[in-house]
Amino acid sequence: MLYREAGQFKTTYSADMAIFPIRQDRVALILLLLFAFIGVPVMATFHIWPLGSDYMLRAILIPFLILALAAIGVNILVGYCGQISLGSGAFMAIGAYSAYKFSTGVHLPLAWLGTALAIPPLPVLPSILLGGLMAAVVGILFGIPSLRIKGLYLAVATLAAQFFFDWVFIRVKWFTNYAPSGSVSAPELNFFGLTVNTSIERYLLCLIFVTLFAFVAKNLVRGNLGRQWMAIRDMDIAAELMGIRPFYAKLTAFAVSSFMVGVAGALWAFVYLGAWEPLAFDINRSFQLLFMVIIGGLGSILGSFLGAAFILILPIMLDQVPHAIGVPISVETVSHLVFIVTGALICYLLIVEPHGFAKLWSIGKEKLRLWPYPY
Amino acid sequence: MIRKTLALAAAAIGMTAIAEPVLAQQNEQFIPLLVYRSGAYAVNGVPYANGVVDYYNLVNERDGGVNGVKLTFEECETAYATDKGVECYERLKGKGPTGAAYVNPLSTGITFALTEKTLADKIPIITMGYGRADSKNGSVFTWNFPLLGTYWSAADIAIQHVAREMGGADKLKGKKISLVYHDSPYGKEPIPALQVLAQKHGFEFTPVPVTHPGVEQKSQWLAIRQNRPDYVLLWGWGVMNGTAIREAAAVAYPRDKMLGVWWSGAEPDVTPAGAESVGYKALMLQHGAQRTPVHADIEKHVYAKGKGITEKDKIGEVLYNRGVVNAMLGVEAIRTAQSKFGKKPLTGEQVRWGYENLNLSAERLKELGFEGMLRPIKITCADHEGARDGRVQQWDGKAWKIISDWYTANQETTEPLVKDVSAKYAAEKKITPRDCAKES
């Protein structure tokens, strides 16, 4: 009923190929964006429930947005191109540490050339983007094995990236500017003379990044490149016979994916944590991102958001339930319960809908479009 | 149908989670408790958290709060993870009528992350016996209080003890000392101080990292067997400590040549290794496993009323006591702040003043029931550490025995480091150091 498309005639090819061909989708998206960009800050400013507290913005929405961005990146690689990766945490770390290095100035003595590579401290925005770029370069490097190996074997190869970079950022003191504890802290978040400090500003900053990259991703996956990725995912030999170069398709997937994950890593470090050590990007982060993509829906941008919400927010909410309803159980019982409940819910969801939340949504949407006689 | 009920249930859960229970928050001081009662470090996190809670309950039950202001607190499980710690901090910082009085991260990693945030939120961050060592300099680190001893002080005390065992500081020359450390900001923190000390005394210093959580240490101890250091310092936490002792036994490294930091010297660290840990030594953050009048009070006012949260025989263990000491210092800081700002719930900014002017004499400590556990402590703007004393204890298979006199960390070695590193931090963060001469 809501989704009745009667009367929406497409008279040009471009209208037919639009990013959101259904008018209801466009309206919903505009409303959502308006709410995210204007509604949330207004509610936060005037302390309107449920977004009135600093906590909702700083501890829920900001990490949600950043992890959703990382999940989009992982989804491009795993969901669209079918290359299983367990190295996402490492790519986040590369983004974070590269951005840190660029923002504090790079000085690399090249003794054998008798010179030194010196880059003065860059502003935050180019630092973050260069962080993403470095992650993309490394992503391409670690993507090369994907030309020969597939599936679980590739997962093991990317796992090597994870452990290698964990090791690099702990051991190579150059990356942490020789900080005695190995913990580094983010520079002041300064964008074109504006200092981003309050939770609303930080939220908007993340929102801008996520919106931009989500649109980029959405457009990429429905274009030439995205179709190449999906062809490779569905059957790489058939794709190759149709003239798709696996070398190009796979490595672009690695590059785009790592770039987004790297930017997310830089944001996670700069905006959410503020100070971090390599443990913030350990193997658990890679698993977390992979689970987000699987639960949210492989091969869906929307699914990345839904998965991030589920994996990040559900445990936090569950953690607060017993206290909020006044059940006196200790925090360790709660934290164990959270593991049990989250785990059980994941199992249940994957049995009921193996294709994740995104599939649930698309089924629902199909039914609405055929209302009142869905089949 | 199932999906609908599920959605409804989820919505209900969401609503209740956000809805705050409306409490009569009038005369209450809120203290957030970042704890870890689960995960790889729970064995050490649990007794510490128990001590903290028991002491706050004692103050509420025995005295009716601090000058009539009742203490309220809420635990949040961090599992020692930095991102979880940040979430907990954000969740709890605004609770109570005046927000959080202070925050205790109980993890050096979380301390680093919160140092950036407490600055803006104006909440003091208390890192008793841990945290970043340069934060001793209160003129740069206005909000950080590494009370009773930083890791640089600990490193100095450890080397003093090693020197005494070897028969004098001059005997350290040419000796080999290894540091087996938790490869995290916590374990890395003492390294600069130990490097300075190695240079000063002429011993050879080898850091040996152990990856989190520290259950895998075979290769590290094989390296130690090859290197044969004269002494091994242990900077471990949680399961890492017991594993280190067992691995030392496996390569036949003498346990009485091992000296743990004060976070590697509690009962859960030595009991898993059984007889193998006999002879193992550890620093004491002043107190040890002991009972003083405050423990009798806790039994009488908290446990007799059925409000205790642990077993009675755990009262007086090392980490339990550390929790008690930590809570006491917080309560006394609030009391000090009340003497200036009035007997009402205080903001974090006001409690910070209380910490900075905290002055506990021997008489006051006796009054509080801490005689024999703590030496007098006086915090100033320039010195957020307040005291840097320690002793050494040795495990005899049943209990910790104190085997040394008091050591006081030599500031001459660490002070230049503190100045250097904190100045670098101030420059990086564009902080203008306060002039401590003008603070009152």
What architecture does CATH give domain B152-284+391-410?
3-Layer(aba) Sandwich (3.40)
What ipTM does the predicted assembly reach?
Answer: 0.86
Q: What is the CATH number of domain B28-149+291-379?
A: 3.40.50.2300
pLDDT digits (tens, 9 = 90+) for B377-391: 999 998 999 989 999
Q: Calculate the alpha carbon distances from B7 to A254, A353, A371, B13 in Å.
A: 36, 15, 22, 10
Q: Do A54 and B17 touch (CB under 8 A)?
A: no
Surface of A (235-274) touching B: CB under 8 A? 272-274
Give me the pLDDT at residue B25, please.
Answer: 53
Asked if the model's pLDDT at residue B1 lies above 50, the reply is no
For residue A20, name the pLDDT band (cuts at 50, 70, 90): confident
Asked if the model's pLDDT at residue B12 lies above 90, the reply is no
Measure the N-to-C terminal CA separation of chain B; round to a whole number of Å: 67
Q: Do B188 and A180 touch (CB under 8 A)?
A: yes
* CA B151 to centroid of chain Cα atoms: 10
Sequence-distant (6+) residues with CB within 8 A of B229 are B176, B177, B178, B206
pTM of the model: 0.88
Interface with chain A: mutation pick from B119, B183, B186, B194, highest number of A CBs within 10 Å: B183
Tell me which residue in A277, A324, A334 faces B185 most closely, judged by beta carbons.
A277
For residue B131, the chain A residue with the least C-alpha distance is A181
| B-chain residues near A187 (CB < 8 A) | 428
| B-chain residues near A185 (CB < 8 A) | 112, 115-116, 428-429
Q: What average pLDDT score do residues A87-113 get?
A: 90
Give me the pLDDT at residue B281, please.
Answer: 95
**Do A174 and A294 touch, CB atoms closer than 8 A?**
no
Give me the pLDDT at residue A110, please.
Answer: 79
Nearest-angstrom CA–CA distance, A302 and B255: 57
Tell me which residue in A55, A279, A330 faces B91 most closely, judged by beta carbons.
A55
* Structure tokens belonging to residue B313: 């025989």
Q: Does A276 touch chain B (CB under 8 A)?
A: yes
Give me the pLDDT at residue A235, please.
Answer: 92
Give me the pLDDT at residue B440, please.
Answer: 59
Quote helix, strand, coil % in chain A, to nearest 5: 70, 5, 25
Give me the pLDDT at residue A90, please.
Answer: 96
Percent of chain A's residues with pLDDT above 90: 49
| Chains A–B, number of C-beta pairs less than 8 Å apart | 119
- Confirm or reject CATH 1.10.3470 for domain A53-370, answering yes or no: yes
Q: Does A330 touch chain B (CB under 8 A)?
A: yes
Give me the pLDDT at residue A1, please.
Answer: 61
Q: What average pLDDT score do residues B235-240 get?
A: 92
For residue A360, the chain B residue with the least C-alpha distance is B3
| B-chain residues near A170 (CB < 8 A) | 183, 209
| B-chain residues near A274 (CB < 8 A) | 86, 113, 116-117
Asked if the model's pLDDT at residue B246 lies above 70, the reply is yes
Q: Does A167 touch chain B (CB under 8 A)?
A: no
Q: Does A55 touch chain B (CB under 8 A)?
A: yes
For residue A128, name the pLDDT band (cuts at 50, 70, 90): very high
Listed by start position, the domains of chain B span: 28-149+291-379, 152-284+391-410
Give me the pLDDT at residue A23, please.
Answer: 86
Tell me which residue in B87, B191, B429 faces A59 most closely, judged by beta carbons.
B87
Asked if the model's pLDDT at residue A339 lies above 60, the reply is yes
Tell me which residue in A49, A54, A336 faces B90 most closely, judged by beta carbons.
A54
Give me the pLDDT at residue A371, please.
Answer: 78
Domain B28-149+291-379 matches domain B152-284+391-410 at the CATH topology level: yes
Asked if the model's pLDDT at residue B4 lies above 70, the reply is no
Instruction: Quote the minimal CA–CA distance from A291 to chain B in Å.
Output: 18
For residue B20, the chain A residue with the least C-alpha distance is A324
pLDDT digits (tens, 9 = 90+) for B176-220: 999 999 988 899 999 999 999 999 999 999 999 998 888 899 999
Asked if the model's pLDDT at residue A70 lies above 60, the reply is yes
Closest by alpha carbon to B356, among B342, B341, B370, B336?
A: B336
Tell me which residue in B42, B109, B421 faces A279 most closely, judged by beta carbons.
B109
Mean pLDDT of chain A: 90
Sequence-distant (6+) residues with CB within 8 A of A29 are A20
For residue B213, the chain A residue with the least C-alpha distance is A279
Nearest-angstrom CA–CA distance, B372 and B394: 18
pLDDT digits (tens, 9 = 90+) for A205-228: 999 999 999 999 999 999 999 999
pLDDT digits (tens, 9 = 90+) for B29-64: 999 999 998 888 888 999 999 999 999 999 999 999
